[in-house]
Amino acid sequence: MEQIFSDDELVKRWPNFTSHMMNVNGTRLHFVDSGGNGPVLLCLPGWPQTWYSYRSVAVPLSEHCRVIVVDIRGMGSSATPPSGYDKKTMAADIYELMRSLYINKAYVLGHDIGGMVAASLAHNYPNIVDRLILADGLHPNEGMMQMKLMPSPGTFGKKIDHQQPYTWWMSFNQVKGLPEQLLQGRYRYLLDWLFDYVMVDSSKIPDFERDVYACVYNQPERIRASNAWYQAFNQDIEDAKNYSKLQMPVLGIASNVSSGFYQYALPALAENYELVNLANTGHYMFEEDPSGVYEAVIAFLTSKKLGGN
């Protein structure tokens, strides 16, 4: 990995944060930590990004909480073991990391795949999750089996269709072996296309940040590991059949694509929930509307009364 994009160099851009590695649950996780003695906010990133995707929200949030951003199994500088990419195992990674850091309870925020792991953590270890925040990332469920292989006529253009989104990469990432061959050293092509497609204003992710992610995902083992998150969805769906409604407060932060889905998904997920729609953002909301995310998170973490609709 190029030195300029190393964790030790990148973390210098985040005031008071430090970079760490820790062996937990039979794997090795990388994380950055703001330190401090306040309540802990544990943050989990998504595909195809790393811990650095929280830059615009983690730093201001660290004025209120001890913020820890974790590269989940297979992401960034964390290890890429041959198995264990089902969200239940990945949740166990986070649970063991918290135990190793002597953290008994935390607020948990997850985006995209990180949201899936965060939800699994809340289901499997509810006593350690104080409040749960899911930003465009809900646990895999049987509804995924209804996703279309072909886009409806007129719905697949330069920008994602909000009513009938065509997420072809969900299928592409199921393929084993071939993505590594096609994308090794070329991942920036996929990143640029994806950001343009799902964001309202893709210029909000500058070249430097795109290069940070491309530097990681240009590596075959990183492509293989990140695709394994998707290849475990069948197991995740099966695990979800045994989960009950969450009892801790849950906040959903939805983009312009996911808001409709969140409206009926959250009542099924939790007894005690709130929903914030960031209507002018695409999937990568931390970059497009960091102030909106920050305000929603702070309001949720400081509210004393929450209730479903």
Token duo for residue 278: 């960031």
Residue 86 located in a structural domain:
yes
Residue 203 located in a structural domain:
no
Find the CATH number of the domain harbouring 47: 3.40.50.1820
pLDDT in tens, 195-206: 999 999 999 999
Residue 265 located in a structural domain:
yes
Q: What is the pLDDT of residue 8?
A: 96
Q: What is the pLDDT of residue 305?
A: 60
pTM for this structure?
Answer: 0.96
Question: Per residue in 13-46, is it b (16+ CB within 10 Å) or e — as a string?
Answer: ebeebebbeeebbebbbbbbbbeeeeebbbbbbb
Host domain of residue 82: 3-144+234-302
Count of domains observed in the chain:
1
Q: What is the pLDDT of residue 260?
A: 85
Residue 14 located in a structural domain:
yes
What are 110's strand-pairing partners?
A: 44, 134
Binned average pLDDT, 10 residues per bin, the chain of 309 residues: 87 98 98 95 98 98 97 98 98 98 98 98 98 97 90 95 94 97 98 98 97 97 98 98 97 93 93 95 97 98 66
Residue 91 located in a structural domain:
yes
Q: What is the pLDDT of residue 1?
A: 52
How far apart are alpha carbons 64 and 60 in whole angstroms?
Answer: 8
Q: What is the pLDDT of residue 176?
A: 97
Residue 124 located in a structural domain:
yes
Q: What is the pLDDT of residue 306?
A: 55
Q: What is the pLDDT of residue 37?
A: 87
Residue 193 located in a structural domain:
no
